[in-house]
Amino acid sequence: MRAISFLRQFVEIAVAIAIAPLFTGWIAQCRAWLQNRTVPSLWQPYRMLRKLFGKDVAMAHNASPLFRATPYVLFGTMVLAGAIIPSLVTDLPFARIADSIALIGLFATARVFLSLAAMDVGTAFGTMGARREMMIGFLAEPALLMVLFNAFLLFGSTALPSLVEGSKSPSSVVDPSVIFAAIAFLMVLLAENARIPIDNPTTHLELTMIHEAMILEYSGRHLALVEWAASLKLFNYACMGFALFIPWGIATHGSGETGALLLAVLALLAKLAVAGAVLALIETLSAKLRIFRAPEYLGMAFLLAVLGLLVHLLQGA
């Protein structure tokens, strides 16, 4: 029994690490379709990773050990987050080491490490990127917390497996507050993962970049790990959204073993396909905001989440 649950855990981590670049590639493909460009291969992110792993690392003379350790720390935190989020099954041995609030903390750890590494070499762009990234971070966190507060009100838990099981139980009806929370979550997801309208993952236009500014000094295998961690982060956020709002297909306690797992993988792929298309559509339809419009954007996400909370509380009253 224990061995099987550890096996499931291992499968989930492996799936997360393997699929994450695919998801990024899929979004890029959808965007290219929508923008009438030649469509890159679905395997492009993997090719890029292989190429980067093969290259030498060109590192600044004054880079410190912190700079060299950060790609590994980023990758480590993101893999661990992938192990905690129930993307395929809820009965995970690792799921209990962090509830969703601790998960936000884990993402924050990764963000702080990346920002510190960006400041390490001491170029103007790195520091600017770090400052902007931290700014987006402190604006997004309250909104995300309100979304989780809402989930707690509905199902009495902040642990993601309990949330999945709660929302899958036949007695639960879709609460109107969920819709507000879902929109808020989507907005936070876009901001936290350096997507349009806050940041543009494909830009190197110097004055507008955030994430790209921070990783400007990275190259070779370090850059490969940072990029992989970034796709894992997007994948993790997507899976967190699935667990919170569309948990169908995730294998719960007591469901059949191999069949349920296979079904869960298929459901995950289907959900990722739809989510990728939706993200690409949003990114195609919207323009990048000025950096000082970011507080308004994330303020709106926060207000939507609070609105959801109030809707729920008023219903109860």
Partner 1 sequence: MDLFHSIPAMTSALSANALFSLLTLVCAWLTLALMGWLRPHSIRFVARVLFPVGALACLAVAVVAGVYLATGQVPQTIVLPLGLPDLPFHTRLDPLSAFFLLVLGLAGTGISTFAAGYFRTGEGTAPALLGLHYHVFLAAMAMVILADDAYLFMVAWETMALSSYFLVTSHHRIPEIRSAGFLYLIMAHVGAICILLSFGVLQGGSWHFTFDAMRGASLTPFLATTAFLLALLGFGAKAGLVPMHVWLPEAHPAAPSPVSAMMSGLMLKTAIYGILRISFDLLHLKLWWWGVLMLVMGLFSAMFGAIFAAVQSDMKRLLAYSSIENIGLIFTGIGLSIVFETHNLHLYAALALTAALVHALNHAFFKSLLFLVTGSVLHATKTRNLGKLGGLIRHMPWVAALALVGTLSIAGLPPFNGFVSEWLLLQSFLFTPQIASSFLNMLIPLGAAALALTAALAAYVMVKFYGVIFLGQPREADLVNAHDANWLERLGLGWLALGCILIGVLPQFAIGAAGAVTHHLLNQAVRPGSTMWWIAPIAPEQASYSGLILLAGIVAVVGVTFVLVRILAHGRIRRTAPWDCGYPWQTPRMQDTAEGFGQPIRHMFDVFFRMERHLPAPDDAAPRYRVAIEDRIWRGVYRPIARSVQWLADVISVLQGGRLAIYLLYSFLTLLGLLVFVL
Contacting partner 1 within 66-85 (CB under 8 A): 66, 72-73, 75-77, 79-80, 83
- Are 160 and 99 within 8 A, CB to CB? yes
Q: Can you tell me the distance from the alpha carbon of 82 to that of 85, in angstroms, rounded to the nearest whole number?
A: 5
Q: Indicate whether 203 belongs to the interface with partner 1 (CB under 8 A).
A: no
Q: Indicate whether 124 belongs to the interface with partner 1 (CB under 8 A).
A: yes
Binds partner 1 by CB under 8 A, chosen from 30, 128, 164, 223: 128
Q: How far is the CB of 241 from partner 1 (least distance, A)?
A: 19
Binds partner 1 by CB under 8 A, chosen from 15, 30, 98, 187: 98
Q: Count of alpha carbons within 13 Å of 291, Cβ hemisphere only? A: 14
The pairs formed by 27-31 with CB atoms below 8 angstroms and a separation of 24 or more are: 27/276, 27/279, 27/280, 27/283, 30/276, 30/277, 30/279, 30/280, 30/281, 31/280, 31/283, 31/284
Q: How far is the CB of 263 from partner 1 (least distance, A)?
A: 24
Positions in 135-194 near partner 1 (CB under 8 A): 135, 137-142, 144-146, 149, 152-153, 156-159, 162
DSSP string, 269-315: HHHHHHHHHHHHHHHHHSPPPPGGGHHHHHHHHHHHHHHHHHHHHHH
Number of residues that bind partner 1 (CB under 8 A): 79
Closer to partner 1 by Cβ: residue 179 or 307: 307
Q: Indicate whether 91 belongs to the interface with partner 1 (CB under 8 A).
A: no
Q: Which stretch binds partner 1 (CB under 8 A): 18-26, 104-112, 169-177, 241-249?
A: 104-112
